[in-house]
Structure 1
């Protein structure tokens, strides 16, 4: 299993205050496939606190994608909602749980604050 994916799941709790703003309860399973092999991760959110572990379990929400896409999500190179809209991933179950979970992914390294995109820098007097 890829080190980036393992690191992502092992650091969920440390990133909770920034990543999850409201208490959400439920179980989300992440199915990551590579060819014929599928790895499973189970994320349990109770009172907004995530606990992640490798393994298979029944879940309220199931995310399924290839492992390469998930690595791009973990690094911010791709975004989860965009992946769903492109049909690069599938989601079944409680969408609210997924919307809470997506906050754990980092923003794109190329993302810019829309308030500053069209801003004109003031000229400085010489």
Structure 2
């Protein structure tokens, strides 16, 4: 039933910090030294998450070659191996440092640093 699904989803959203840390570890495994930082943005960072929210995770990379769907899929699969539930509502975006810095002026004014590598 919908309410049970909604409750399950809210539980996952409430665990956003642990989930985003696992995604950061997964991304580090996939991207390696080119991963600079991992942030949570969007409604969670703004403190406005609701049942339809996603955990919006931004991977900041030093090499634009990682900006593709294959990297996103690899990171998600690795995150599942590390314990992120398959049904966790995560949305992974990959940006260069320049792109991320541009976004922080508008879209990502509120953001939560999960891990910084450089």
Q: TM-score, normalised by structure 2?
A: 0.28
Larger relative CO (CA 8 A, sep 6+): 1 or 2?
A: 2
Q: TM-score, normalised by structure 1?
A: 0.27
Task: Kindly indicate which of the two structures has a greater share of residues assigned to strand.
Answer: 1
Q: Between Structure 1 and Structure 2, whose CA radius of gyration is higher?
A: 1
Task: Kindly indicate which of the two structures has a greater share of residues assigned to helix.
Answer: 2
